[in-house]
Each structure stands twice: as C-alpha cells, then as structure tokens.
Amino acid sequence: MALVSLLLVLGFAGPAFADDERIGELERKVEALTAEIENIQLGAVADTTARARTAGRFGLAPAASKVYGAGPGVSIGGYGEALYENFDRSREDDVPSGKLDRLDHLRQVVYLGYKFTDRLLFNSEIELEHGGVRDEALVEGRADPLTGEVQGSAELSGEVSLEFAYIDWLLRPGVGVRAGMMLLPLGLVNELHEPPIFLGARRPDVEQVIIPTTWSANGIGIHGRGRGLEYRLFLTEGLNARGFSASQGIREGRQNGSQSLATRGAVAARLDYVGFPGLTAGAAAFTGDSWQDFQPAGAEVTPRLTLFDLHSRLQWRGLTLSGLYAHGALTDVSDLSDALGLTGSDRLGKSFFGGYVEGAYDVAPLLAPAAEWGLAPYARLERYDTQEDVPGGAEDPANRRSVITAGVAFKPHPQVVLKTDRQWRHDEADTATDQWNVALGYLF
C-alpha cells in the first residue's frame, strides 16, 4: 500500500516536478559558480580544503557517489583504512587494563556501479574487513575432555560484507526512487564514512553505539533535493531486538540485509538544509517495532524503537565545525528484558542518548601559503549513555561514558589522510582505558 501511495504521489505531481527541474538546474549553476569563486579566492589551498570537504551527491560521500557523475557503463571507486591502537597499561582506577596494542587493516572497500541511462543506475559497496577472511577463527568456549568437541562461539578472522546495493531511478532533478540495500540516513558519519571525510582516527563513539554505524537495511524509498533542502524517506526492514544489550545498545540489533527477519518493518527519514555552501543542518529519525521472532509463551512483546538525531556541520575554507545529538526510546522494555533473560544491571533501559561537538582547522595556508597539502589539528568531546531508566533493574555506571579526542590530520592529497590522536576515556565506574590512535585512510 505504501508503494502504491508513493507511485500515486509521483504520478500526480507532474507540474511541480517541472518547476523543480528548472529550479534544480539553477541551483546546480549557482553551486558551480560558488565553488569557482571560492577556488579563485583561496588559491592553491582550495585543492586541500574545498575539494576535500565535498560531500558527494545524493547523500553519499565522494567515492560512494562516483557513479552519479560518471558516463554510461561501469564505474569503480573505493576507500580503505588501517588503524593502530596503543592502549594505556592501566585503567582510570589504576587496575591493569589487560589490553594489548592492535594494528588492523580495518577495511578495504570497492564501490561498483553501473549506469544504464542518465536517470537509471546501480550502485554498490563491497567491503573486506580486518584484512579479509582467512581459514582460521578465534574460538571461545570449552572442550569435552572425552570427545574433544568444543561448545561455544567462533569469530572469524575477518569479514566480507555488502554495505549497500541498490537501484536508483532519478525521475526528476528533485525526486529519485531508490530500492535495494541502502545506508540509513541518520547521523553525520553513517552515509559519509570514508576516512578523509570524518574527523579522528576512529569514528565517534556516539556514531558507533547510539547510532550504530555502519547501518544498512533492505528497503525502498524516495530522495531528492530542491530549494535549499535535501530529503530522504525510506521504508526498510526493522531491527532485531534479540541483539540489544545494556552496554552496546541497539548496535547488535542491526540485520544489515542479511537473511533479515521481516515480520516488522521500519521507517527512516531525514531532512537537511543545504542552501548555504558548506553548511548542512537538519534532523533524522528511525522508528519501528523491533520484535521479529515468535512471541514468548504467555506474553506479548512489542518493543518499538524510536531514534532521532539533530545534526549540523559547517565547512568554510579551512574550518570544520560539527555537532550531533541523538536520543533513542524503547517501549515495553521490561517485558523485553524478561524475554531476553536479562537481570540486574544487564537489563535494558527505557532510553539511550549521546552527543558530540568537534572542530578542525587547516593551518597549512598559514605555514605555507602555496601549500598543496593540508594539516588540520582537531578535537572532539563526546558524552553518551546506553542504559537510562531501567525497569526492574539497575543502571550500570560503566555505561555512562565520555571521550575527549585531540589530534592532527595530515593530507598530502585531498583523498589521502594520515591521522594521529589521543583519546582520554572516562566512565562513572572508573574502568575506562585511555589510548593513542594512528590511522591511514584513502578514497578514490
């Protein structure tokens, strides 16, 4: 019924589309002229700031949206990142942290697209994580002394996954229909997660735990841009509440389009103001019933998850300023905790929330006016809580966390970055561990 309604709206909006097409063409010309003027004003530094801040098209980062600007046929892009983490030997409470340093090629991604016509295309993201999958696994459990059989769980050395794969039909300059596996339009990083784009060697904690980046789902919806506004509205698969936890929130409830249980659907929406060059400001939301399984005996569990965020980002010359606040609410949470067998401080909270502010400034023009490279010190402050107001249980103070990140990013080219930073971590149980990070990232 939703799809029929969508098609009816598109069918009866012909005159409006004609106006949008003319307005869209004027907006594209204004944006092109603005970028050209800024390049003239900034000189050589424009190569490392204006180009590097480009957020791509249609809600996606530069490499992810490459197919939209390509000619007919195949389009190939990608990105990758490697991360070194150096953990302090002691926690906040001076107890040994028990953490060993790690060096990980986090991911290598290939964007593969195909343009059938100027208005119809296919786009996909194929990802290899942690150096790829090898014929080995980390097994946790216990072995039967008689048979040698191991009972427990196994984690593969790496992963190959599909982040998105969809068909996009661009009906008009202001309206497109997208169907398949899509990135959900929440937060500042979920859609723009290429390393040269976001600040920090690691993605913000808030956009990993409160907004579970990277978050994909099968679905269908509309998207577009016009008169200074950009929008996306998708009907998708829902989350699976069996993966929810007190410490990680909804993160493990993502189904990510893999044999997803589809007894309950969800809606994701986003609206941004993009009328001023370099500024994005808006809101996004996701809502849906998260119980996908059979109902437990003698009970009916209906945990509706509603998550929204308010976000803004300003990129002007060498300056970047960003801020985000996200809040989630879960209904029927007491019955859900019972159904999952959670007790005490492991029970789920009625809500969870988090936010951060961050900033960076490219000082390369101050050091070398004709520099074709970038050097940007940056800092970020985060606070978040995954377990607020726990019916029938108690909040774990370790789930109320804050992180201060400070570092510097060096860009020998707008598409290549080397980032190093220090993270000071705190939780109200005093069990957090500080760390150093070094990351290498690239896109093409």
348, exposed or middle or buried, with CB in 10 Å at 0-12, 13-18, 19+? buried
- Domain definitions of the chain by residue range: 17-79+105-133+153-293+300-356
Q: What is the pLDDT of residues 342-375, one digit of tens each?
A: 999 999 999 999 999 999 999 999 999 999 999 9
CB neighbours of residue 395 within 10 Å:
18
Q: Average per-residue pLDDT in the chain? A: 88
Q: What is the pLDDT of residues 400-420, one digit of tens each?
A: 999 999 999 999 999 999 999
How far is residue 193's CA from residue 213's CA, in Å, rounded to a whole number?
8
What residues contact 133, with CB distance under 8 A and at least 6 apart?
A: 156, 157, 158, 159, 160
Cβ burial 263-290 (10 Å sphere, 16+ → b, else e): ebebbbbbebebeeebebbbebebbbbb
Counted residue by residue, the chain has a size of 444
Structural class in CATH, domain 17-79+105-133+153-293+300-356: mainly beta
Q: What is the pLDDT of residues 116-173, one digit of tens each?
A: 999 999 999 999 999 888 766 555 666 565 555 655 655 666 888 999 999 999 998 8
pLDDT over 90 percentage in the chain:
78
Given this model, what pLDDT does residue 107 score?
Answer: 95
* Long-range Cβ pairs for the range 281-286 (8 Å, 24+): 281/311, 281/312, 281/313, 282/230, 282/310, 282/311, 282/312, 283/308, 283/309, 283/310, 283/311, 284/185, 284/186, 284/187, 284/308, 284/309, 284/311, 285/186, 285/309, 286/184, 286/186
Structure tokens at 434: 């500080």
Closest CA to 176 of 140, 131, 224, 134: 224
Residue 414 has phi, psi (to 5 degrees) of: -55, -20
Structure tokens at 371: 């520099």
DSSP string covering 340-372: TT--GGGSPPSEEEEEEEEEEE--HHHH-TT-S
Please state the pTM of the whole predicted model.
Answer: 0.84
User: Would the pLDDT of 334 be above 60?
Assistant: yes
